[in-house]
Structure 1
Amino acid sequence: MKVILLEDVKSLGKKGQLVDVSDGYARNFILSKKKGIEATAKNMNDLKLQKAHEDKLAAQRLEEAKLFAAEIAKAEVVLELKVGEGGKLFGAVSSKEIAQAAKEQLNMELDKKKLVLPNPIKTVGTTSVSVKLHPQVTAELKVVVKEA
């Protein structure tokens, strides 16, 4: 029996996939637990329409991420912090502080988890911070640390 999976089933397939299983397994497990539906012509057409809609939404999200990345590339966040001898900061600049400053200065909502800091910023100067907006889109935000 051919079945369209409604959710991921271990060792069988992923959501939206068309799989061929035995009649008993389909009736007693997949259909009864609502993990899938029978692959009729109507259900196959619905699946095709749903996939087309998901592809359209994914393309739209990618385009929005690209536009936001262009906006971020032009932006600059300035942080004024206490500095000790030799231009060293007391502590370090975290992604949370950068996200908060971007919200205050630029009105940009950046998720602190999306900011990629390979090493914490511990000195005065300009640093480029990567922002992962989408699996295919990464933007560079310029962070300027100044002495208070």
Structure 2
Amino acid sequence: MKIILKQDVKTIGKKDEIHEVSDGYARNFLFPRNLAAPADAAALNQARTKSEAKAHHEAEARGAAEELAAKIKGQVVTAKVKGGASGKLYGKVTGKEVAELLTALTGTEIDKKKVELPSAIKEFGSYDASVRLYAGIVAPFKLKVEEL
């Protein structure tokens, strides 16, 4: 019997996938627990429409991420912070501060968790950094730390 999963089922598959299972398994386990629905013509059409919409939204998100990566790639982001005469900073430059600078530069909100910095930045200088925008899309940029 063909079924469409309403939820993730560990032994079968993920939500909205179409699978072939035995009649007894479907009638006695999946349907009573509301984990699946029979795959009739209307349900198959609805599942196909959902998958097409999901693919379209993913393509849009990927395109937006590539466009943003093109804006960021090769840019020099300057962070002005307080520091001592020896070249050491009072504190360190964090991903949150860099994300705020990138947001101001691009006009698009960037999550601090997606900013990848080299080890803790505690001295003035220039550093290579990157930001993960989408699966497989990474935008490298230069981070310049200057005295305030």
TM-score normalised over the length of structure 1: 0.86
Is the helix fraction higher in 1 or 2?
1
Deviation at 1:81, TM superposition (A): 1.4
Deviation at 1:46, TM superposition (A): 1.9
**Which runs of 5 or more structure 1 residues have no equivalent in the other structure?**
none
Written as runs of structure 1 = structure 2, the 5 A alignment for 1:133-148 is 133-148=133-148
Pairs aligned (count) = 148
Aligned residue type for 2:18: L
What's the % identity of the aligned pairs? 37
Task: State the match for 1:93 in structure 2.
Answer: 93
Aligned residue type for 1:67: E
Deviation at 1:103, TM superposition (A): 3.5
Written as runs of structure 1 = structure 2, the 5 A alignment for 1:1-148 is 1-73=1-73, 75-104=75-104, 107-148=107-148
Contact between 2:124 and 2:147, CA under 8 Å: does it hold in 1? Answer: yes
C-alpha separation in 1, matches of 2:61 and 2:104? 25
**Which runs of 5 or more structure 2 residues have no equivalent in the other structure?**
none
Q: Kindly tell me: are residues 16 and 119 of structure 1, through their superposed partners in 2, closer, same or farther at Cα, counting changes over 3 Å?
A: same
Aligned residue type for 2:84: G
Deviation at 1:104, TM superposition (A): 4.4
- What is the aligned-residue RMSD (CA, Å)? 2.0
Deviation at 1:74, TM superposition (A): 5.2
Contact between 2:4 and 2:18, CA under 8 Å: does it hold in 1? Answer: yes
Aligned residue type for 1:11: T
1:18-63 Cα shifts (integer Å, max 9, x gaps): 2222323212332233222111122222222221221111111111
Single out whichever of 119-128 and 26-35 deviates more from structure 2: 26-35
Single out whichever of 56-65 and 103-112 deviates more from structure 2: 103-112
C-alpha separation in 2, matches of 1:25 and 1:94? 53
C-alpha separation in 1, matches of 2:121 and 2:64? 29
TM-score normalised over the length of structure 2: 0.86
Question: 3-state SS of the aligned residue for 2:13?
Answer: coil
Aligned residue type for 1:135: A
